[in-house]
Structure 1
Amino acid sequence: MLMNSMAPDWLWLFFVAVVLLALFVDFVVLRKQGAHEVGVKEALNWSIVWVALSLAFNGLLWWATWREHGTEIANTRALEFLTGYLIEKSLAVDNIFVFLMIFTYFAVPPSYQKRVLMIGIIGAMVLRTVLILVGAWLIAKFHWILYVFGAFLLITGIKMWWAAGQEPDLESNPALKLLRRVMPVSKNFDGEKFFTVENGKRIATPLLLVIALVGITDVIFAVDSIPAIFAITSDPFIVLTSNIFAILGLRAMYFLLAAMASKFHLLSYGLAVILAFIGTKMLLIDIVKIPVFASLGAVIGILAFTMWLSVRTAPKLPVKQG
């Protein structure tokens, strides 16, 4: 077993193989299709594929745990994976809205967006793997770090609630200002290239700036989401696999939600409540043991209610005259 996890070594290797194969298939499909705009139907089909793959892996996790530890522990581990996966998917929604803002601000053509997202996903997987392994080591060595994570999530949830509904000002973003000082950027895109030549000089295209901002955004969101899953389980295998499988479907999820972003205008409030709930759960971990099933129910309930309320209160589009 690796990193104090219940998962057998062969399951770790199988997980790595599945992720590498999934990325290979995605990149091959991406290359064959070339630059094109991803429609809702294509995004929906890929979303179904990624969710089905994640649930199938969860079934394998249950079976592997059942063989060595019995039904009760297998059920618990499967619920932990499902809860962690759902939390990461939920928090990814807010991440996606920021991506949408970045693409809109830089007027990135839809046909170029999928390559940016693919590169961003690779970077996110590497970053989160490192952060999760470091986090697992810290929790194993210093139990009190859970209280730090809990307080951080609670404060983040409160801040997210107050910031919900406000339009972010990308122009005043310090990361964007720093990037523009560090690298000269052309005014126009040059296909899917990250660099172009102007007046005999090699300079960055706006697409490289977008890639950098997407990476910075994911660092910020990883700091929020990873402690949230540690509130569900301390098993690094479940934390890592639920996180990575949620990220694998991020590109398809982006194009799906981008088409219906206006319908879920209250979702940020729901995500804020989820973060505050998980932070409180982590702060009370040694006093009150909230079952994984209850956590899963709370997350699903909050998301469902927020989405329902968003649809009910969605602003009506003006009727065109003529």
Structure 2
Amino acid sequence: MSVPLWAWAAVLGVILLMLAIDLFAHRRAHVVGVREAALWSAVWVAFGLGFGVIVWWVWGAEFAGQYFAGYVIEKSLAVDNVFVFAIIFGYFAVPREYQHRVLFYGVLGALVFRAAFIAAGSVLIASFAWILYVFGAFLVVTGIKMALHRNDTIDPDRSIVLKLFRKVVPTTDQYHGQKFLVRQAGRWVATPLLAVLVLVEVTDVVFAVDSIPAIFAITQQPFLVFTSNAFAILGLRAMYFLLADLMHRFVYLKLGLALVLVWVGVKMLLLDLYKIPTWFSLAVVAVLLAVAVTASWIRTRTTTATTGSAGPGPAGAAGDAAPTDALTAQPVPSEPTTSRSTRD
């Protein structure tokens, strides 16, 4: 697959333009409602699918299939991020009108970190072909661990990163609008919003350790690996505001994601024995996710109807005013579908 430099420049230009439009559209702090989130989600999905059509037109069906398979895997794994973000926002009681700003810079950082990971992964694969088997084994082990510990929750208060941040960075207990830093008593101090951003960034780095090898199981083309990741991540903010209210309904999603990781890991381990067709791999991933989501909704439909409750709302929904001590631990939502790992 030959990709000219102008194609890379064009993709990066579109990504930066869309980020600028998104930032301008949300320049004022406000609560992102479900309707607005659904509209932006549709926009980002349209861009992601539209780019796949361009890949099909320019490079053919095989590479388009690799892109779409990678996009679906990354998009589905990104849902797991949503649940962890909800826990982090709930822990810090972040007012809903400030959450989009955190996620915007979180996604911006995620694009930079993932680009670095993809570049490193491409160099490793080009230099050491056997590293693909290491990636495959890692994905299988990770998927099994996720399935076995799918009911585990995370507690930000035990995060080594958060403890180190609090120890090293002077921090105020009060929110100051959407500011990450404020000047107090002649010195700059961090607001709780900066601590939230740091945790969001670290969380995505941890997730990338799983998701980047997963996409390399589908394709080793750096252009497709990066674009499938980028277009999947760009819609993460809208996805959060769209799905945060429904996190309690996805009780089997983590199991479905675990099976997806095991599947792509096995696919990578079989590279020299049998090359599984891209479209078949995409179909398997789609079926696994569809079954997990459908089973979750069937399982929780009766519970929701019986209790008459829609479950926990988005983080910070119960009163948008910041508490007097925003760094005091808040109750962690019960039995959420949380991260693929409990690592800090």
Which of 159, 162, 174 is 2:145 aligned to?
A: 159
Residue equivalent to 2:258: 272
Which of 72, 75, 81 is 1:86 aligned to?
A: 72
| Distance in 1 separating the partners of 2:90 and 2:152 | 16
Residue equivalent to 1:43: 37
| Distance in 1 separating the partners of 2:273 and 2:82 | 35
Q: Which amino acid aligns with 1:46?
A: W
| Distance in 2 separating the partners of 1:197 and 1:208 | 14
Residue equivalent to 1:60: 54
Q: Which amino acid aligns with 2:99?
A: Q
Consecutive unaligned residues in structure 1, runs of 5 or more = 66-73
2:208 matched to 1:222?
Answer: yes
2:205 matched to 1:195?
Answer: no
Which residues of 2 match residues 147-296 of structure 1 at below 5 A? 147-198=133-184, 201-296=187-282
Residue 261 (structure 1) shift: 1.1
Which residues of 2 match residues 131-146 of structure 1 at below 5 A? 131-146=117-132
| Distance in 2 separating the partners of 1:50 and 1:188 | 34
Consecutive unaligned residues in structure 2, runs of 5 or more = 310-344
Residue equivalent to 1:112: 98
Residue 93 (structure 1) shift: 0.8
Residue equivalent to 1:28: 24
Residue 46 (structure 1) shift: 0.5
Residue 82 (structure 1) shift: 0.4
Residue equivalent to 1:122: 108
Deviations 1:59-88, CA, capped at 9 Å, x for gaps: 1111111xxxxxxxx111111100000000
Residue equivalent to 1:10: 6
Q: Which structure shows the bigger proportion of residues in helix conformation?
A: 1
Deviations 1:246-273, CA, capped at 9 Å, x for gaps: 1111111111111211111221111111
| Distance in 1 separating the partners of 2:178 and 2:104 | 13
Residue equivalent to 2:327: none
Tell me if structure 2 keeps the 8 A contact 1:165–1:265.
no
Percent of aligned positions that are identical: 51
Residue 178 (structure 1) shift: 1.5
Aligned residues: 306
Q: CA RMSD in A?
A: 1.5
Q: Which amino acid aligns with 1:89?
A: K
Deviations 1:182-230, CA, capped at 9 Å, x for gaps: 1232222111111234555532111010010001001101111011000
| Distance in 1 separating the partners of 2:63 and 2:187 | 56
Residue equivalent to 1:309: 295
Structure 1 residues 307 and 226: alpha-carbon distance in aligned structure 2, compared to 1, 3 A threshold: same
2:304 matched to 1:318?
Answer: no
SS of structure 2 residue aligned to 1:260: helix
SS of structure 2 residue aligned to 1:202: strand
Residue 277 (structure 1) shift: 1.1
Residue 134 (structure 1) shift: 1.4
SS of structure 1 residue aligned to 2:274: coil
Which of 76, 81, 91 is 2:62 aligned to?
A: 76
Tell me if structure 2 keeps the 8 A contact 1:266–1:307.
yes
